[in-house]
Amino acid sequence: MRLKHIKGSEEIVSSSIYVIKNPTNYIGKWNTVFNNNNKIYLEIGSGKGKFIYEKAKKHKNINFIAFEKYPSVLLNLIKELERDNLNNLKIICADAQNIDQIFNKEISKIYLNFSDPWPKKRHEKRRLTSSVFLNKYDKVFKGIKVIEQKTDNDDLFNYSIESFKAHRYFIIKKNTNYFDKIKTEYEEKFIRKGKNINYVKVIKF
């Protein structure tokens, strides 16, 4: 799906105090960004940010990072942060391919919510649960590795389950008709259409 570009979005994102500029400068020292040693939870592909924003409001003792490639979709999240002034949520506008150049054994949990399924075989490496990305996650996790995934795409879900198993992740919870109190924008849309939501939580020691 082609994302609509909003004129001036790059300037708004780059000037926001909630967006971390040059995030590679903070590798190994993200605790200094939040000025505490609380756990850091990361959502890759946060979109408009509804999910991670509500998570951050509910869990003030956890630090959250919204990781999103496209500036245009971040405008809503920036507006919400400016209104509520949450100090436990930051934004990175970058390509997830570079995640292992930004974090080094600092992340306690990764959320993958309604990621692009990249259905064609030749695009497999772009899937956020492919071997390429799971190997990168190994470098950014601190201690026990925890991933939570939600998707409407049954094929991606089945692919992810097998990929997690191949990388020695244990399935803690799995549900093919999942209901979450905190939903993404996509999730709300899919539920209205009657589409089932797939969910899995996996860990690796």
Catalytic positions, written as ranges: 116
- CA-to-CA separations, 11 to 5, 23, 67, in angstroms, rounded: 13, 17, 18
Residue that has been written with the tokens 């999240």 in this structure: 77
Structure-block tokens of residue 152: 């409407």
Give the DSSP per-residue string, 60-103.
TTSEEEEEES-GGGGHHHHHHHHHH--SSEEEEES-GGGGGGT-
Angle at 51 between CA 49 and CA 52, to 5 degrees: 70
